[in-house]
Structure 1
């Protein structure tokens, strides 16, 4: 990766971060510092060896701050705040707590350029009858967007959260971060659906407390370049997660899924199943990791990744 290209891109991003004030301004400077220290990911790093992001640096994207679209937040027990415009950042407890910016440089860049997003809270004991839908905005040619979703599912609450995206062509770039807290006994069905042509880099970071359950579905059906990192920390006994992924690549496309499940305490279960359909000259990657801490006895962790290669040769 050209040092000159990286410096020029960093200069542009610094100007963008400094040009916008508002409630999120105080968060941007430390995030930008972390990004500068880490640098832009390249294939010389083990975690990125299969995915070349150089094309994203070379394009002079215009970062836009279009709001995300919400549906289903009018249900009893749901509170929603606009991250870009709501002045009450004191209500946004937990923003950034699950993101290790030194391990995820693009998450640091998201924080530096953050201009759109939502904070969701589901009250203790609420049983939502409808899904909460978050749609990332449409992107015009040559634009980029950095959104943040912060969700907290209260004790013994049950919810469905669907995150999708409006159209954007291959010249566009989405760089998003999702943080979710599941409190004791909470139940969440999460769907993250990518179907547009825009390049997409995303981090989903989730922490589960005692006896909570997560059912996650990551679906990627289109796009020349997709990279998704999913981290789940099981921090309360009896917590469980069921992670499902389905990805398909177009010819010459790249779809890269990385997952990390951290069994931090005893008596937790995780089950990962990712399936891929890869077109000729495409590249599909699934790299799943499970960490079992020294005191996390009676852990059950399953993982499988069957794939299908489509090639007429």
Structure 2
């Protein structure tokens, strides 16, 4: 067994939660080194859905003049309706708790349906301006459909798409290119909208936990909330009123830090630490600039390599501590 699993099993045995026979059986099973291909197969299914929807997009782009708009829209509609039909037919229905299809392939079928819906509505608006000048409706409608399907079919991937659509409707383009080139960094309104949306997502996750509504969606909401709030606050650290956003960022990151332990999400924990590190370094450089001590700058740049090495070591230790604490909590 690998050290973490061995330690966890040993802890269960010492707490007398499993018998000696069970402990030996677990060790024997682990020694066989059998591993599951479930994650790999799901990855291939996910890639298949992405390849299929991408292929549809390329087909439309390359043959738009020869196939015809009506034919393309009809094909998209037929395929989308088929995907929805089989998804609803094989669904167990809406439940407040976690639920799954009997066959996991339908999780990817409904994901394909949502992606095709986005393509269909976007193409309809682009070619025929079906919603007139109300361009936001072309984003809002797939978002509403996505939120409904995410909760009805219990699908985190669709929920992520729906939240991204909601952010786009607000005016935010959440992509690496937009973060570098978009007006997000130049428009205070978008920055405030991002913070407001992040707070709403966090508040909804808290409310959902209180009423036991899809509690396992909490990680998705917190992840989006963390990125929206942190990026916006870091952006405003370069404004004249930076101190207010620094205090807000510190409070928000403390909340996400404690929440990462509650939901046992290492990705949430890692991003929280990264944003905190970026924020602290920005404030550190601002403090050095305000002090304007040239002699100190020479000493500071001398210690920069050591500073980054120590930062990496502390980061690794924090990750190890998080994994250890999460494992201990699971045993308890």
Q: TM-score, normalised by structure 1?
A: 0.31
Q: Computing the radius of gyration over CA atoms, which structure comes out larger, 1 or 2?
A: 2
Between Structure 1 and Structure 2, which shows a larger proportion of helix residues? 2
Between Structure 1 and Structure 2, which shows a larger proportion of strand residues? 1
Q: TM-score, normalised by structure 2?
A: 0.30
